[in-house]
Each structure stands twice: as C-alpha cells, then as structure tokens.
Amino acid sequence: MEPVTSNLSTLRAALAAAHRRLDELFGSCVAALDGPVESLAQRLEAFDAAFRRHAELEETLVYDTLAPLPEFAELLSALRLEHTQIRELCGIARVKLDAGERDDVRLLAGNLARRLGAHEEHEEESLAPGAEDELSAESRKAAVEALAAP
Ligand SMILES: [Fe+2]
Ligand SMILES: [Fe+2]
C-alpha cells in the first residue's frame, strides 16, 4: 500500500502540472499579442481548447464526484463560475481579434491572466487538499491520470 503522504500530494501535483502547461500556452498568447494576427489567433485557439478540455476533466472527474458533499457546495459553485468566466473571456477575445480590435484583446488578455492565475491557485490551495481526503483512491487515480495526459 502506498504511504498516505504520497497520495496526499498526487492530485495537487497533477493539478499544478496541468496548470503550468496552461500557463505556458497562455504565455505564448501574451507573447504573440503584438505579432501577426494569424499566429495570435492560433495560440488563442490552442489555449481555449486546452482550457476547455482541462475544465471539463476537472468538472467530470473531481467536481461532480465531490458534489454530493455539502461542505464542498460553495467552493465548487465558485470554481464552476470561474470556469465559465474564463471560457467566456477567451471566446470574447477570439471574437475581438477576428474583428481587428487589438486593444480590446490586450485588455482581455490582462483580465484573463489574472482570472486564470486566481482560479488555478484556488484549485491548488483550496480544492486539492480537501479533495485528496474525500475522493476514493480509485477516483483520485482516474483524475490524476486524466489530468496528467498531454
Ligand atoms: Fe479549473
Ligand atoms: Fe484546473
């Protein structure tokens, strides 16, 4: 049997690693803010797709599993709202870019960076510790493997 301490770090480590990959994709959007429109559009699309996939995995494999526990209700509803806000901001940024509104895209990117960072910290600091304790070993393993997949 695995020692408890190793299990305790697993979901948080998997979340953190997945978040750092999202940060890199988002950083590549920021680096392209003043470059050719096609390159920025491609990078925004890649971040959008990766974020949507990541958020869906979290909602399916972690949030939904914890949803029956009343002590998680408030946190999960805040985290789901953050997912929605990030997806919406990203969608608006892509529309604005298509419309040639670069200044708006820059403002949205700043807003997105703050929201993404805050959301990731929220999950790593507030969700992961409690989730480690409440998820079954099987659920935790499924979530960790899915989050770790490229
Ligand atoms: Fe999330
Ligand atoms: Fe996440």
The domains located in the chain, with CATH, are: 4-148 (1.20.120.520)
Q: How far does residue 84's CA lie from ligand 1's centre (Å)?
A: 10
Q: Give the three-class secondary structure for 91.
A: helix
- Report how far ligand 1's centroid is from the alpha carbon of 100 (Å): 29
Mean pLDDT of the region 128-142: 92
Ligand at shortest distance from the CA of 12:
2
- Burial code of 111-128, b = ≥16 C-beta within 10 A, e = fewer? ebeeebeebbeebbeebb
Q: Percent of the chain, pLDDT > 90?
A: 89
Assess whether pLDDT exceeds 90 at residue 2. Answer: no
Ligand 2 center from residue 106 Cα (angstroms)? 23
Q: Beta-carbon neighbour count of residue 18 at 10 Å?
A: 23
**CA separation for the pair 56, 63 (Å, rounded):** 10
> How many Å apart are CA 56 and CA 122, to the nearest integer?
17
Report yes or no on whether pTM surpasses 0.85: yes
Q: How far apart are CA 19 and CA 15, in angstroms?
A: 6
Measure 68 CA to ligand 1 centroid, in angstroms: 18
